[in-house]
Amino acid sequence: MLQNDVNSRGNTQWFYFTVSNLPQNVEVTFNIVNLLKSDSLFNYGMQPVVMSEARTKKNGEGWLRMGKNVSYFRGAIRR
């Protein structure tokens, strides 16, 4: 569940969180259930940005657009 943006009337526009100490090649699913928007670029192929500290140290790669099966739809939770 996301907190409302500061100084807004209950809007939630973005999110940021960290996941640590995952083994390599583990698939992770995130369900963000209260991000209410009429539409999203995720519906049109946009991918979230992710960053791996290990990959950054090894290859110098920073933030990358990654992810698969990204979907965005209205759920049953009401504000």
**Alpha carbon distance 68, 46 (integer Å):** 10
User: If you count them, how many residues does the chain have?
Assistant: 79
**Terminal CA-CA length for the chain:** 11
Q: pTM for the full model?
A: 0.61
21-49 per-position pLDDT tens digit: 888 888 888 887 776 667 778 788 888 88
Give 59's DSSP letter.
H
The distance of Cα 64 from the centroid of its chain, to the nearest Å, equals 12
Query: How would residue 19 be classed by pLDDT, with cut points 50, 70 and 90?
Result: confident
Domain boundaries, the chain: 1-79
